[in-house]
């Protein structure tokens, strides 16, 4: 596979120590572990605790991931609560050699379409890198319609990472965008097979943070082109991720990496390590699935 | 294809005359038109205006569809606002030779899991026919969890028609139900390819009311097993149905049948015929797609 | 108090026997019990199990309530899933001497504004009685905007019963309706004091089914015009109703009437009598509040 | 009125210049204008663009408001996306002589009850000032139940600012909190009269940013204790705020201050000044109401 921004792309977590500082050693270990199996990285996003970090911390993590990326693409998440911060992060990502940037709509407040369009125009103007829009209405509170996406594609947006968990709205993106080389990335492994069949380039998969080999093997199954085999594999993927949802998925991710013998540190407050009882229950079920 | 309850199954509309009475002539014509292309019928459901009809009217329409079904299966929708009516309709469906019955959870009021389970137990007890549960939380207000479905499957439920438009929750049904011969039907053409790949038996497709050939051809494409070709066809299906959503889809259905030269009568009040301007706009776009 | 449609108005429950048939004896007893304390009745509504009954059953219950009403007003709920049934019920209510009719928007399906307006126009045209619109978006799925209400008021609608549980949207009704003698009824005791202060005429109160004296006393407190005393009483009302919400409120209502020594029969399936443990817990807490 | 944290408290906006920098001159002018009429300030909250500012900017605005507060109380909003930032802001607020701090739950991510409780425990531990919890589930995505509020009250929380726009859940706060001197502030003028009647101490009112005299006069009306007169005044307040909702309310606020002859600067991107047509329409309607 040589296409850019394709295959399996983990939204790599950020490793914090017990005091909540970035643990660079652990971070490099996690990136190197994933890099053996995956095709790209999406640091500083939702899984990457980007919104919980300062601008300076986000820059540092982006640098580490670029340094350790191996042959992978890196799409640095630069989405922030306001336009100025997103532009600053995008300029930094370009300066350190990232392959692209991605940005969730500004969150907390609700914005009009015109305000959202101008936000993305400012990011597109600021860098020469491909810019991805990261649609996640559940977290941003600002959904991006297919019409808005088509407008931004015409104005230079390179692609979309769609984490709405709504296959029909993803299909509408594919139908409405007119730009021929626009890049569609499905922002969850949960509906990945269907998205790939319809034209998605790749999968930004939270589960690939902990089971990169399993997700790489899912992607190879899809490439073989046997739909029923892909369907079966997809169900296994959904079953595995349903176990990761016993607690807040982000906190479960650190726990499962620990089950796998790594030392990913801890999530940042307000998140906390999961309770021991939950750890054991998830470990048992992942073992039953043959994933541990 | 010989498997029961597979392929394309239109939730056939009910034809009313200008006074709101069932138009038997028109009804037979619509059923015969669809029967040439499809594999089954689901009369008296949401598209079939079941909830807008009296018990006696619903029985009459079920009889007509059974009479005109040709070699198709008929799953009569017997879902109603209370348990007694659903049981009465199920017993009638059995008495006229229907192949199965389906039932949406009781609507309007919100019920506990135990109340919903008992509702379905009463229907299952009442007939020897296969009973399908029709999940449609947007209309019923009473979502059916994967755990509840698994319980009912163990107690004799034959299958599910899932119209939640949520691929992940459909996958969870497939993962959680333990009964080996349970029949999964995806209750919309919008995410049909993904559902079929994962193990769905068939598709209850509102769009098949107006374009049964087109949906039959989609299904044949899927049977050929080329996922990218299926994906392309799926996008065309979604594009077509997005045109049917310009107005309330049910009212658009009568209009598009008229565009196709049929005389399906009218929707029942509170529904109304669509305005002429909408008719023309939809006709133009369906023509552009080559569907008219 | 002599004003029509003012004061406390219970949406009186319907009493069913163990086989699910209307229990006329119990019904008369419940109506007579409430009539001693309240100012009106709203039979066959949501609490009245109207949607769970046949047209014939609804007519019978309306007759019983009119016969037993004493000096109370009776607003018969004629809301139904389609226009024809609502019109039939409204004509019947007029024929038996009801004081007014009320109607929830048609439920299950989603309708356009124009379709909803036409639905109400048909009911208004059908009878000479005052017609109330019963807004309950959580159950009907079809919210009525302040603009729609103002339009219908101009076309003859007599009033509204608002059960949206949203004080701001109730205020917007008061602000937008231009008709001088339009009657605003708040459709819950939970925000009754605020609604009355702003101009509501009366309160359709589910809690008055079981504690009509308590609700009558709340209303007298409000009439005395001491806002802090009213506020305190309002909090007691909300606390009492929060206990009624331990189970589905409708099923709790039968149980609490039983705690009070009455024999209200049973809710109709899919509803069921509440479990004994819940009965005891609610009884204990209502006793603690001094209501039993 | 001498009680602390009572009366009308504007969540004062932050004034930005055309380059998006804080405009200190304009900021002081706005605070002095409001201070003549109101009883307190809530800077750096939702109206205050707190989430759009850096930590340093938030500290600077808090300092300006404390300097210009006159005889008003100042509750500095220290809510932030993570625990560390909230603690840092709370310590700063204490160091500059603020009277209290308030904090929205951490936003963007969804948290468990335990994680949210620990977040507030950290803030309460960090300062000797009264700490308010600012409930706003629409923006934070993390609703605070009455049970959680009662727990935090027992552990030292001083009060709540409730902006859920749900009178019943506000009542449940009043019912469930056991701490005798807990301070309830209703976080919107839209349902203020009802909240005050039930025991709220004061009103954090966005509308007081632009019409502080009008809101002060509403509060005096409430103090007079005539519920029908208060009800009428409440409806005027709701009507005025409905005009402020023609655009995003925050951007409308700058425009209306300009209509009143002030120079409040501009909202920060992604927000933008409202279009001229909207400005004129709102100006006309506010003039019709006699507010300009």
Inspect the interface and report whether the beta carbons of D119 and A82 lie closer than 8 Å.
no
Half-sphere exposure of C144 (CA within 13 A, CB side): 33
Interface test with C, best of D147, D150, D164, D167 (most C CBs within 10 A): D167
Tokens of A148: 């808005």
- Given a cut of 70, whether residue A79 has pLDDT beyond it is yes
Q: In degrees rounded to 5, what are phi and psi of residue A11?
A: -80, 85
pLDDT tens by residue, D34-60: 999 999 999 999 999 999 999 999 999
Of the partner residues D197, D238, D239, the one whose CB lies closest to the CB of residue C231? D197
Judging contacts by C-beta atoms under 8 Å, the chain A residues touching residue B165 are 166, 168
Residue A140: closest CA among chain D residues belongs to which residue?
Answer: D108
For the stretch D232-249, pLDDT in tens is: 999 999 999 999 999 999
Query: Which is the catalytic residue, given A59, A69, A161, A258?
Result: A161
| Residues above pLDDT 70, as percent of chain C | 99
**Backbone torsions φ then ψ of C16, nearest 5 degrees:** -115, 150
pLDDT of residue A62: 98
The string of pLDDT tens digits covering residues B236-279 is 999 999 999 999 999 999 999 999 999 999 999 999 999 999 99
pLDDT at B3: 81
Beta sheet of D202-204, edge-to-edge order: D7-9, D202-204, D183-186, D159-162, D131-135, D100-103, D73-77, D40-41
- Indicate whether C239 pLDDT > 90: yes
pLDDT at A3: 81
Rounded mean pLDDT, B142-152: 98
pLDDT tens column, A38-67 = 999 999 999 999 999 999 999 999 999 999
Most B CBs within 10 Å: which of A163, A164, A171, as the mutation test of the B interface?
A171
**Can you give the pLDDT at residue C2?**
52
pLDDT at D1: 44
Class of the CATH-defined domain D7-226? alpha beta
User: Is B108 tagged catalytic?
Assistant: yes
Which residue does chain C place closest to B53, by CA atoms? C82
Q: What is the mean pLDDT of chain B?
A: 97
Measured between CA atoms, how close is A110 to chain B, in angstroms? 25
Active site residue C111: no
Q: Which residues of B touch A138 (CB under 8 A)?
A: none
> Under an 8 A CB cutoff, do A198 and B239 touch?
no
Per-residue pLDDT, B1? 44
What average pLDDT score do residues A131-148 get?
A: 98
Residue D2 confidence (pLDDT) = 52
Q: What subunits touch chain C, counting only 3 or more CB pairs under 8 A?
A: B, D
Q: Which of C42, C47, C120, C134 is catalytic?
A: C134
Average pLDDT of span C167-193: 98
**Helices A227-244 and A276-288, axial angle in degrees (round to 10):** 160
pLDDT digits (tens, 9 = 90+) for A158-173: 999 999 999 999 999 9
Active-site residue flag, C279: no
- Domain regions of chain B by residue span: 7-226
Scan for tokens 């009212």, then name that residue: B251
B105 is written with which tokens?
């959870």
Active site residue B46: yes
Residue partners of C109: CB distance under 8 A and separation at least 6 = B46, B51, B52, B139, B248, B250, B270, B271, C141
The model's confidence at residue C3, banded by pLDDT at 50, 70 and 90, is: confident
CB D153 within 8 A of CB D145: no
Q: From CA B67, how far away is CA B60, in angstroms rounded?
A: 11
pLDDT number for residue D6 = 97
Q: What percent of chain C has pLDDT over 90?
A: 99
- The per-residue pLDDT for range D62-95, each reduced to its tens digit, is 999 999 999 999 999 999 999 999 999 999 999 9
Contacts of C270 in chain B (CB under 8 A): 82-83, 106, 109, 111, 115-116, 118-119
A116, A148 in Cβ contact below 8 A? yes
How far is B55 from A238, CA to CA, in rounded Å?
Answer: 41
Per-residue pLDDT, A1: 44
pLDDT of D288 above 70: yes
Model pLDDT, residue C1 = 44
Which residues of chain C are within 8 Å of residue B107 when distances are taken between CB atoms? 107-108
Enumerate residues 6+ apart whose C-beta is below 8 A from A35. Answer: A41, A68, A69, A70, A71, A72
What is the structure's pLDDT at A179? Answer: 97
Look at C225 and D226 and tell me if their CB atoms are within 8 Å.
Answer: yes
Question: Given an 8 Å threshold on Cβ–Cβ distance, is B226 in contact with A226?
Answer: no
Q: Over range B64-91, report the average pLDDT.
A: 97
Contact flag B269-C119 (C-beta cutoff 8 Å): yes
Q: How many angstroms away from the CA of A14 is the closest CA of chain D?
A: 15
Q: Compute the average pLDDT of residues B116-126.
A: 98
Mean pLDDT of B141-151: 98
Which residues, 6 or more positions from A95, have their beta carbon under 8 angstroms from its beta carbon? none
């Amino acid at each position: 596979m040589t296409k850019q921004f394709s295959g399996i792309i983990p939204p790599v977590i950020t490793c914090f120590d017990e005091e909540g500082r970035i643990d660079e050693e652990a971070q490099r270990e996690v990136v190197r572990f994933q890099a053996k199996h995956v095709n790209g990285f999406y640091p500083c996003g939702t899984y990457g605790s980007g919104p919980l970090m300062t601008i300076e911390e986000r820059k540092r993590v982006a640098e580490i991931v670029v340094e350790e990326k191996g042959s992978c693409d890196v799409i640095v998440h630069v989405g922030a609560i306001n336009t100025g911060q997103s532009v600053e992060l995008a300029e930094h990502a370009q300066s350190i050699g990232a392959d692209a940037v991605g940005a969730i709509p500004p969150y907390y407040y609700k914005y009009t379409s015109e305000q959202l369009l101008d936000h993305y125009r400012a990011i597109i103007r600021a860098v020469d890198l491909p810019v991805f829009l990261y649609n996640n209405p559940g977290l941003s509170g600002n959904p991006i319609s297919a019409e808005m996406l088509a407008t931004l594609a015409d104005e230079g947006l390179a692609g979309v990472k769609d984490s709405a968990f709504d296959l029909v709205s993803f299909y509408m993106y594919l139908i409405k965008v007119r730009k021929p080389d626009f890049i569609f990335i499905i922002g969850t492994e949960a509906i990945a097979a269907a998205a790939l069949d319809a034209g998605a380039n790749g999968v930004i998969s939270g589960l690939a943070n902990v089971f990169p080999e399993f997700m790489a093997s899912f992607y190879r199954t899809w490439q073989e082109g046997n739909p029923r085999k892909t369907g079966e594999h997809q169900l296994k993927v959904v079953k595995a991720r349903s176990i990761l949802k016993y607690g807040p998925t982000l906190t479960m991710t650190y726990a499962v990496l620990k089950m796998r013998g790594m030392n990913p540190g801890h999530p940042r407050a307000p998140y906390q390590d999961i309770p021991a009882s939950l750890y054991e229950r998830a470990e048992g079920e992942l073992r039953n699935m043959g994933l541990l």
